[in-house]
């Protein structure tokens, strides 16, 4: 029986590539999305993967959201916490709303979603959780105290939950992408992005598929001895 995988923020960018890669690898996949109906409809039409809308930053929305996925596909055995937003700005110009929106969507979502699936994973004696971190959580980034804090928090969350899951067949790992050519990165002002690309030894932005392939490996049955680790995929920008 194909395992069931749920990818948050799964209808665009890196999340979309992860959904498609998992489907190609034979998993039953569900994508969660937060708000962009048009992109979600296009995604489902193109891939046949069902998309479910809820706010992963809101625990009260996650519980019925996960139940809906389970009713459609079965218990979630693989969770990819990918949903993330940016609200960039230097600290002296950043509002509390910019801070909180990013912490809530990028970090609290990992708690909310993992909490919703962990009991069934423990009961089944199997689970795979992959959290999408960032080079900017490892190295810091100008204009991103909110995002860097959330992503850095994801790396601590990953290690702590890995310890809790290890004896129950549940692995918990992080992937830390560098600058990938998604809408999120393309939104960085051109002049700033050019400076950033100049710091990437490989000399280019990464591709979403390059992240998706690593996630497919980490969730496979073959990767059962890999837990609490972070796979950095950043073209050599930061060696952590
Ligand atoms: N690297 C190098 N230089 C940078 C820089 C960076 N990351 N960010 C800003 N600078 C430079 C600017 O080029 C500018 O230099 P000059 O004075 O020589 O022109 C100087 O710092 C001041 O910057 P701004 O004029 O842009 O300042 P601002 O207040 O108008 O804007 C900002 C600040 C909104 C943070 C803007 O600089 C910005 O958007 N920076 C990019 C932040 C970033 O990297 N975000 C990543 C988004 S993608 C992502 O997060 C995905 C992931 O995981 C990797």
Q: Output the pLDDT for position 75.
A: 98
Indicate the CATH number of 4-180+209-233 among 3.40.50.2000, 3.40.50.720, 3.40.50.300, 1.10.10.10.
3.40.50.720
For the chain, residues with pLDDT lower than 70 are: none
Counting ligand 1 atoms within 8 A of each CB, the residue from 98, 133, 143, 144 with the most, and so the one to mutate, is: 143
Q: Do 97 and 105 form a contact (C-beta atoms < 8 A)?
A: no
pLDDT of residue 220: 97
Active site residue 147: yes
Nearest partner of 33 among 5, 9, 69, judged by Cα: 9
In short, whether 85's Cβ falls inside 6 Å of ligand 1 is no
Domain ranges (residues) in the chain? 4-180+209-233
Cα(200) to ligand 1 centroid in Å equals: 15
For the chain, the DSSP string reads -PPEEEETTTTSHHHHHHHHHHHHTT-EEEEEESS-HHHHHHHHHHH---EEE--TT-HHHHHHHHHHHHHHH-S--EEEE---------GGG--HHHHHHHIIIIIIHHHHHHHHHHHHHHHHT-EEEEEE--HHHHH--TT-HHHHHHHHHHHHHHHHHHHHHGGGTEEEEEEEE--BSSHHHHTS-HHHHHHHHTT-TT-S-B-HHHHHHHHHHHTSGGGTT--S-EEEESTTS---
Atom of ligand 1 nearest to the CA of 137: 53
Which residue puts its alpha carbon closest to atom 40 of ligand 1?
143
Residue 196 CA: nearest ligand 1 atom is 1
Q: Global pTM?
A: 0.96
In testing the pocket of ligand 1, which one of 149, 192, 197, 200 has its CB within 8 Å of the most ligand atoms? 192
- The answer to whether the CB of 143 is under 6 A from ligand 1 is yes
Strand 170-177, strand 127-132: pairing: parallel
DSSP symbols for 109-159 = HHHHHHHHHHHHHHHHT-EEEEEE--HHHHH--TT-HHHHHHHHHHHHHHH
Task: Please report the atom of ligand 1 found closest to the CA of residue 179.
Answer: 54
**Atom 20 in ligand 1: residue holding the nearest Cα:** 192
Question: Is the shortest distance between the CB of 192 and ligand 1 below 6 Å?
Answer: yes
Q: Which of 130, 157, 148 is nearest to 214 (CA)?
A: 130
The finding on whether 88 has its CB within 6 A of some atom of ligand 1 is yes
Residue 165: predicted pLDDT: 98
Supply the pLDDT for residue 1.
Answer: 82
């Amino acid at each position: 029986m194909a395992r069931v995988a749920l990818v948050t923020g799964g209808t665009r960018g890196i999340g979309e590539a992860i959904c498609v890669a998992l489907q190609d690898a034979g998993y039953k996949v569900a994508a969660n999305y937060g708000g962009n109906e048009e992109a979600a409809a296009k995604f489902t039409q193109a891939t046949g993967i069902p998309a479910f809308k809820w706010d992963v930053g809101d625990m009260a929305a996650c519980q019925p959201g996960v139940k809906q996925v389970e009713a459609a596909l079965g218990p979630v055995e693989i969770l990819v916490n990918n949903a993330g937003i940016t609200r960039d700005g230097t600290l002296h110009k950043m509002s509390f709303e910019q801070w909180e929106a990013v912490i809530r969507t990028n970090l609290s979502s990992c708690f909310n979603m993992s909490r919703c699936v962990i009991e069934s994973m423990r009961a089944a004696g199997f689970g795979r959780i992959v959290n999408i971190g960032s080079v900017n959580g490892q190295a810091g980034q100008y204009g991103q105290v909110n995002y860097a804090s959330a992503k850095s928090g994801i790396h601590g969350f990953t290690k702590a939950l890995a310890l809790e899951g290890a004896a129950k067949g549940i692995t918990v790992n992080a992937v830390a992408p560098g600058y990938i050519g998604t809408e999120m990165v393309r939104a960085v002002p051109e002049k700033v992005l050019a400076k950033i690309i100049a710091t990437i030894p490989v000399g280019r932005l990464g591709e979403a598929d390059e992240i998706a392939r690593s996630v497919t490996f980490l969730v496979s049955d073959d990767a059962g001895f890999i837990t609490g680790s972070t796979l950095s995929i950043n073209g050599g920008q930061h060696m952590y």
